[in-house]
Amino acid sequence: MAKTKGPRRPKAQTPKGFRDYFGSDVTARKAMLDKIAEVYHRYGFDALETSAVETVEALGKFLPDVDRPNEGVFAWQEDDDWLALRYDLTAPLARVAAQYRQDLPTPYRRYAMGPVWRNEKPGPGRFRQFYQCDADTVGAASVAADAEICAMLADALEAVGIARGDYVIRVNNRKVLDGIMEAVGLLRVGEPEYKAKERGIAIRALDKWDRLGEHGVEKLLSTGRKDESGDFTEGAGLDHLQALWVTTLLMQRLNSVEATLDVFREKLAESAIGLEGVDELQQIASLLDAQGYGPDRIIIDPSVVRGLGYYTGPVFEAELTFEILDEKGRPRQFGSVAGGGRYDDLVKRFTGQTVPATGVSIGVDRLLAALDAKGKGPSRAQGPVVVTVMDRARMADYMALVNELRQAGIRAEMYLGNPKNFGNQLKYADKRESPVAIIMGEDEAQKGVVQVKDLILGAQIAADASVEEWKAQSQQVEVARADMVATVREILARYA
């Protein structure tokens, strides 16, 4: 029989798939986003912060690549309205561009940084709330806008600490892909439904080139492919030669943009849309070149796909080229941290008019992980100096000490727990990763001195007790009260 209990206590638990961020998790991300925002601002982009909540109607009922209405979104009914948490920063931008179209400058350059919410099954490293960091230009049809976004992305990556040479931004154009589809009979311009399914299979296959390899892509372009688990994926129905023509074209790497694009001009000579795409790539390359963004930073790469539907012109992808070790200890390239492209139909939902737009989204968590992997994360803030409490009657003195440190710009705390057990105070300092503890008991107070204890040196000595010379080093010095700030500064400088 159940025991009689008082009212059940609530569980102290983050909801499933959500997480909390503590201390340097918050400040490291903030520092990175601040640096990106500075670049975006310099490029003339204005900050925009929309509400986290949108009407389901304005948000659109579909996440990209999701078929069921409302799938993937947190939504609820409020009086007569259905409201939902935004699932990205692009849908709210489309709403804003329509709602304020009379007031916003044209073109409208904006950046946005903030959390978005996805009602998806959580998994390792997959959370239902995460940050996005977007920059978009709405109302500019010129590929100069796309080129600008690519240059800005390069500057942003360098601003956060990714060295030139450690990243590359690949640029392609969906129209080139359309040209290829047209050339092999998977697309008829003006008939969007024609072979749409086969085209989808082909584009998805090209998008997964890295994972499938050349042979796997060819299979999927033609008769279909059986994967390791034995599952069969239907092919796009090209004959073997057509499939080979596609992969060969996309694999060719010539040593100049001009040479590459010349090959595409020749191969896509029959496709008006394909040639248009090649011309746009040429223009982007020239515009970037004029600004000094050469192939060491931004390259034209006709093999880039970037997902389905959505994009209508140039697409771009930033990849980090340095190696990290994967979970099995094998080296692999870090990979993609940002991507984007031109999408011309988002605002149309609201106004009926096509508004050209192009933009980029940086994967905030991916880029933070990259900075960590490079040991270039924003410097983790040092722990605070801890002023210990030896004598309850001297609380005012300890607060004066801590205030002196703070006014000198030094991060500092007075121990505010129960001061009875001095060992607990040092344990607390340890948990806070304090570099220095200040100690002032009755004796010190009488003499007008304080003890300044170097906790980092102390920890080193404790960790490596056999090194006798270290023991000779004094980890604790007695200094005049007036010299406390200077002494602490000296120690902090040692470990900066």
Q: Which residues contact 320 (CB under 8 A, 6 or more apart)?
A: 162, 166, 167, 333, 334, 335, 336, 337, 370
User: Of 60 and 237, which has the nearer Cβ to a second copy?
Assistant: 60
Among the listed ranges 81-89, 265-273, 336-344, 437-445, the one in contact with a second copy (CB under 8 A) is 81-89
Q: Does the footprint of a second copy cover residue 304 (CB under 8 A)?
A: no
Q: Does the footprint of a second copy cover residue 481 (CB under 8 A)?
A: no
Task: Write out the binding residues for a second copy, residues 100-139 only, by CB under 8 A.
Answer: 100, 105-107, 109, 115, 117, 119, 128-129, 137, 139
Closest CA to 157 of 16, 36, 294: 36
Q: Does the footprint of a second copy cover residue 466 (CB under 8 A)?
A: no
The runs of H, that is alpha helices, within 331-389 are 348-351, 364-373
- Among 2, 5, 68, 290, contact with a second copy (rule: CB under 8 A): 290
The three-point CA angle 99-104-107 to 5° equals 115
Task: Write out the binding residues for a second copy, residues 365-424 only, by CB under 8 A.
Answer: 381, 384, 395-397, 399-400, 403, 406, 409-414, 416-418
Please list the residues that pair with 438 across neighbouring strands.
387, 452
- Among 36, 63, 89, 147, contact with a second copy (rule: CB under 8 A): 147
Q: Does the footprint of a second copy cover residue 21 (CB under 8 A)?
A: yes
Q: Does the footprint of a second copy cover residue 95 (CB under 8 A)?
A: yes
| 278 and 302 Cβ atoms separated by less than 8 Å | no
User: Of 69 and 417, which has the nearer Cβ to a second copy?
Assistant: 417
Cβ neighbours, 10 Å, residue 144: 13
- Quote the tokens at residue 321: 């080229």
Q: How far is the CB of 105 from a second copy (least distance, A)?
A: 4
Strands (E) across 401-481 are located at 412-414, 436-439, 449-454, 476-480
Among the listed ranges 18-26, 217-225, 322-330, 365-373, the one in contact with a second copy (CB under 8 A) is 18-26
Q: Does the footprint of a second copy cover residue 12 (CB under 8 A)?
A: yes
User: Of 73 and 181, which has the nearer Cβ to a second copy?
Assistant: 73
| Alpha-carbon span 472 to 3, nearest angstrom | 62
CA 396 to mean position of chain CA atoms: 46
Q: How far is the CB of 148 from a second copy (least distance, A)?
A: 7
Task: Write out the binding residues for a second copy, residues 329-368 only, by CB under 8 A.
Answer: 349-352
